[in-house]
């Protein structure tokens, strides 16, 4: 069925035709090149009037069936038509345009000799003009024709030659707009025009356009000027906040497990006399400056502060502190095992500034003036280029400003966890929070271990020693865990008193250290699983070491001999991943779905899982099985942290369109239960334990991580995740493959083939027929051999290139390939354009590839041409290996 065409609107056809003629002419005015500096502003002013004419069309519904009743009034209808008719006549009158406005009119074929024109362009009116023209055509209306003695609209070229004259022309158009608005006035005129102005201004593509509209409408079209300025300020504020924000700002807090139910309830209870610690509840309600939460390693400081942050009583007491002022609660949790910004002063400064400025955007110019200048004056509407971040001096000035009257219109309480995990001089971290607390509207709760610098710095601050206050919490945790086991009922039936004594004994040995409690309880419950009698359980408690590091070794020794090899491999994979965590890349995070795919194949990373579990449900089952295996086979030193699902670019379980229900297990990651576990593994003697000994001497953690990343890339594709998710995994895969070059060229060869095939498939799915064909001349044949070598050279994998040539003795040498394909291997090694293209948009990955020097030396000693300047540049600071390379370097220098 086809839709019929609406009949012409006879009553308003004349008005519509005259307006169409006027708009066509006003949309096609140009100027001489001599007016180049004035033209952008003049053109913006004209475009604003075009926009207002089209707004009037919408207000009176000129082309609609239910047009405004004012058009039915004969006198009004006649006046509107006469206004547009006379304007059209003036715009087509050469003499008038020249004498009144210095606008020259030419036949298009008779334009001025040697003249260069600047054409008209649209800033605000484009979408409205397109809609008007479409509606006009759809209703089969016609442009109003004037008497034959006047030329048609299509054959004339109108060229402004004088800015003063053009300003007069603009004023004439403004009078037309004002007259039309007066004739079509409606009670809600101001509200309607304000709403349309806001809508039109938001269609600007750049900050330059927004500023041009603001300047062009200033003091003339006040509503548009105001909307443009408000949008400029809004976008500048948004850009400042986006620049301060960084990925992982709240990651540490989110990854922390919630406190065990019923624990830490004393934190907000009324203070008892002579308890030996300062009431946190009272400080929240009336205190100032800094409150220090002190505790030994594993005491549960981070979990406690997460409890304080989330507890509704915290907000209630802070509201009481604020009185009539609003109070905002923020946080920053240092993380030694995190990215650079998660453990440095810059990260904390950005997090705190982000929180304050997100709450009070109007304070941005005062607190970060340099950042505001670049954002407010910047060109791009949404620039992907980073603004200059606040320097140490900028942050110091910002904190000093916060203490001034009138800068902050509300109060803030910040929770800063783990000052001892700050990657730098601890005294600097202390000075930072002390400087922040100088503002009467800001106070902080900080936590750390009782290191001397913190003990001295916070000697006079209100404080609590967490491990001295959690005996009751520890006992409750042990009781809850043991009571939930069915064997406890049997023990109680046999001897309830003895059963309770065992629980209390285990809790007493914790000495307030929650981490010890959690791990020791797991060891104790293994005795429940074995239905051990009382004397065995008592001995089990006594055998548990009191020192945390000794406890880690003890727990690994409890792992069944059948699973120790698997546990040793998984722990090495997790440790290596954390060890390689960088500032920007996603290294350091072990995704459950990736480890599950590799673990399901017995951690045989050279034999890939080619027949994939392609559904979300099957992947969920894999992850759940791995979670249970980790609990029993890694000594309780690893845990699965379920994801929040707030970043779709990292989500494996697909987009909201493909999988509307987010699966937090699919997007979970695996972490060490505490940073002290990672620190313990950082000591070489830890890996010498018999429980961590590897029988498989060919195992390599980087190779396993490369396989995992490859699996994750494929899983992301299969589950319909975003391209960003797959690109991240492929980027990580490439880095790990590069690191395996020294380990196993055979494995590297396998991985490069897998990578090639997966990337080619990925590009095809995206509509890109991607391959390495641009690596040689147009007539050269692109073979798998050439592609593999090209990629390996770009990655700097010298050992693999040697191996690959040895395994293919009948093929050409590197020098012969260079001649045959008219290419230069040294450019592939030094420029890395291919790798940059391949890793788009993760260019920072390139910085972590092996240095180019060794590959350039290898190419030079293999007979390939390498400019001496390139060799000098790359090998000055690199160690030389091999006689040939040393001899070559001596020749160069």
Q: Report pLDDT digits (tens) over 670-723.
A: 999 998 999 999 887 889 899 999 998 888 899 999 999 998 888 888 888 777
Q: Among 39-53, 143-157, 162-176, 270-284, name the one with the lowest average pLDDT.
A: 143-157
Instruction: State mean pLDDT over 34-58.
Output: 92
Instruction: State mean pLDDT over 395-411.
Output: 90
Q: What is the DSSP string of 396-441?
A: HHHHHHHTSTTT-SSEEEEEEE-GGG-SS-HHHHHHHHHHHTTSTT
Q: Three-state SS string across 237-281, please?
A: HHHHHHHHCCCCCCHHHHHCCCCCCCCCHHHHCCCCCCCCCCCHH
CB atoms within 10 A of CB 182: 10
User: Which H helix or E strand runs over 672?
Assistant: strand 669-672
pLDDT band at 812 (very low <50, low <70, confident <90, very high): confident
For the stretch 196-226, pLDDT in tens is 999 999 988 888 889 999 999 998 999 999 9
Q: Three-class SS of residue 796?
A: coil
CA atoms of 336 and 343, how far apart (whole Å): 6
Would you state the pLDDT for residue 613? 62
Q: Three-state SS string across 9-78, please?
A: CHHHHHHHHHHHHHHHHHCCEEEEHHHCCCHHHHHHHHHHHHHHHHHHHHHHCCCCCCCCHHHHCHHHHH
* Inter-CA distances, 601 with 573, 575, 605, 704, Å: 15, 20, 8, 12
In the chain, pLDDT over 70 holds for what percent of residues? 84
Instruction: State mean pLDDT over 323-352.
Output: 92
* Inter-CA distances, 181 with 187, 278, 320, 461, 755, Å: 12, 69, 53, 67, 65
CA atoms of 301 and 306, how far apart (whole Å): 9
Please, which residues have CB within 8 angstroms of residue 779's CB and are 6 or more apart in sequence?
none
CA atoms of 617 and 577, how far apart (whole Å): 27
Overall residue count recorded for the chain in this entry: 893
Q: Is a pLDDT exceeding 90 seen at residue 520?
A: yes
The full set of domains in the chain, from first to last, is 10-186 (1.20.120.1020), 251-255+283-360+408-468 (3.40.50.300), 473-544 (no CATH), 560-770 (no CATH), 774-893 (no CATH)
In contact, 67 and 61? CB cutoff 8 Å: yes
In contact, 803 and 750? CB cutoff 8 Å: no
Comparing C-alpha atoms, which of 790, 785, 799 is closest to residue 838? 790
Question: Would you give the end-to-end CA distance of the chain in angstroms?
Answer: 82
Kindly state the DSSP code that residue 154 receives in the 8-state scheme: G
In contact, 788 and 756? CB cutoff 8 Å: yes
For the stretch 750-792, pLDDT in tens is 888 888 788 777 777 766 654 444 444 445 555 667 777 887 8
Mean pLDDT of the chain: 84
Cα torsion through 739, 741, 743, 745, rounded to 10: 150
In contact, 446 and 293? CB cutoff 8 Å: yes
- What does the longest C-alpha to C-alpha distance in the chain come to? 118
Q: Three-class SS of residue 500?
A: helix
Question: Which residue's entry shows tokens 């920053």?
Answer: 332
Would you state the pLDDT for residue 717? 83
pTM of the model: 0.81
Q: Which residue has the higher pLDDT, 270 or 81?
A: 81
């Amino acid at each position: 069925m086809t839709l019929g065409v609406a009949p012409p609107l006879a009553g308003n056809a004349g008005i519509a035709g005259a307006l169409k003629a006027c708009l066509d002419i006003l949309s096609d005015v140009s100027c001489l090149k001599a007016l180049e500096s004035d033209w952008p502003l003049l053109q913006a002013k004209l475009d604003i009037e075009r926009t207002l004419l089209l707004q009037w069309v919408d207000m009176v519904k000129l082309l609609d069936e239910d047009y405004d009743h004012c058009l039915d009034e004969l006198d009004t209808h006649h006046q509107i038509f006469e206004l547009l008719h006379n304007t059209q006549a003036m715009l087509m009158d050469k003499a008038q345009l020249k004498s009144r406005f210095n606008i020259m009119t030419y036949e298009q074929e008779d334009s001025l000799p040697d003249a260069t024109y600047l054409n008209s362009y649209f800033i605000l009116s484009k979408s409205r003009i397109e809609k008007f023209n479409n509606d006009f055509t759809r209703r089969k209306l016609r442009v109003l024709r004037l008497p034959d003695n006047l030329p048609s609209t299509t054959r004339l070229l109108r060229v402004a030659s004088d800015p003063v004259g053009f300003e007069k022309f603009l004023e004439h158009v403004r009078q037309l707009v004002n007259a039309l608005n007066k004739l079509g006035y409606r009670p809600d005129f101001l509200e309607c025009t304000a709403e349309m102005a806001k809508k039109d201004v938001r269609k600007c593509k750049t900050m330059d356009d927004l500023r041009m509209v603001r300047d062009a409408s200033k003091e003339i079209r006040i509503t548009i000027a105001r909307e443009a300025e408000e949008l400029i300020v809004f976008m500048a504020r948004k850009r400042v906040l986006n620049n301060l924000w960084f990925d992982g700002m709240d990651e540490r807090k989110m990854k922390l497990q919630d406190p065990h139910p019923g624990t830490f309830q004393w934190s907000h209870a009324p203070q008892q006399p002579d308890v030996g610690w300062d009431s946190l509840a009272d400080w929240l309600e009336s205190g100032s400056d800094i409150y220090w939460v002190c505790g030994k390693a594993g005491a549960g400081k981070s979990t406690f502060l997460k409890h304080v942050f989330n507890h509704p009583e915290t907000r209630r007491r802070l509201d009481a502190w604020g009185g009539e002022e609003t109070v905002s609660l923020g946080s920053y949790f240092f993380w030694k095992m995190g990215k650079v910004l998660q453990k440095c002063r810059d990260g904390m400064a950005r997090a705190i500034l982000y929180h304050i400025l997100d709450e009070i955007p109007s304070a941005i110019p005062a607190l970060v003036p340099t950042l505001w200048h670049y954002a407010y004056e910047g060109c791009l509407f949404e620039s992907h280029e980073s603004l200059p971040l606040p320097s140490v001096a900028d942050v110091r000035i910002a904190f000093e400003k916060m203490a001034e009257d009138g800068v902050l219109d509300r109060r803030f309480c910040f929770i800063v966890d783990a000052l001892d995990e700050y990657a730098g001089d601890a005294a600097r971290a202390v000075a930072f929070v002390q400087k922040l607390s100088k503002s009467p509207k800001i106070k902080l709760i900080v936590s750390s271990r009782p290191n001397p610098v913190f003990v001295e710095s916070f000697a006079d601050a209100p404080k609590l020693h967490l491990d001295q206050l959690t005996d009751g919490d520890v006992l409750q945790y042990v009781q809850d865990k043991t009571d939930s086991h069915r064997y406890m009922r049997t023990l109680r039936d046999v001897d309830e008193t003895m059963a309770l004594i065992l629980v209390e004994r285990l809790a007493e040995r914790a000495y307030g250290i929650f981490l010890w409690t959690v791990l020791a309880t797991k060891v104790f419950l293994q005795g429940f699983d074995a239905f051990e009698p009382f004397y065995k359980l008592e001995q089990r408690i006594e055998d548990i070491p009191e020192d945390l590091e000794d406890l880690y070794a003890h727990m690994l020794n409890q792992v069944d001999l059948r699973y120790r090899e698997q546990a040793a491999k998984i722990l090495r994979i997790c440790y290596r991943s954390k060890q390689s965590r960088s500032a920007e890349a996603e290294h350091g995070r072990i995704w459950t779905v990736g480890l599950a795919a590799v673990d399901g194949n017995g951690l045989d990373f050279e034999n890939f899982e080619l027949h994939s579990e392609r559904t979300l449900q099957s992947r969920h089952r894999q992850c759940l099985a791995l979670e249970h295996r980790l609990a029993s086979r890694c000594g309780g030193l690893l845990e699965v942290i379920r994801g929040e699902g707030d970043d779709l670019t990292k989500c494996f379980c697909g987009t909201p369109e493909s999988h509307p229900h987010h699966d937090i297990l699919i997007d979970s990651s695996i972490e060490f239960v505490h940073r002290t576990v990672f620190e313990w593994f950082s000591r070489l003697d830890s890996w010498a334990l018999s429980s961590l000994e590897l029988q498989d001497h060919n195992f390599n953690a980087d190779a396993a991580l490369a396989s995992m990343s490859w699996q994750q890339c494929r899983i992301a594709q299969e589950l319909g995740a975003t391209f960003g998710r797959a690109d991240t995994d492929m980027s990580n895969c490439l880095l790990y493959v590069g690191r395996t070059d020294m380990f196993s060229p055979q494995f590297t060869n396998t991985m490069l083939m897998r990578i090639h095939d997966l990337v080619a498939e990925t590009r095809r799915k995206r509509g890109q027929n991607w391959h390495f064909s641009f690596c040689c001349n147009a007539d050269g044949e692109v073979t798998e051999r050439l592609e593999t070598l090209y990629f390996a050279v770009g990655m700097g994998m010298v050992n693999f290139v040697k191996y690959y040539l040895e395994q293919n003795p009948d093929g050409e040498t590197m020098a012969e390939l260079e001649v045959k394909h008219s290419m230069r291997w040294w450019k592939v090694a030094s420029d890395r354009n291919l790798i940059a293209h391949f890793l788009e948009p993760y260019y920072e990955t390139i910085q972590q590839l092996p240095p180019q020097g060794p590959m350039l030396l290898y190419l030079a000693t293999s007979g390939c041409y390498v400019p001496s300047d390139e060799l000098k540049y790359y090998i000055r600071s690199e160690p030389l290996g091999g006689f040939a390379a040393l001899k070559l370097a001596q020749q160069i220098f």
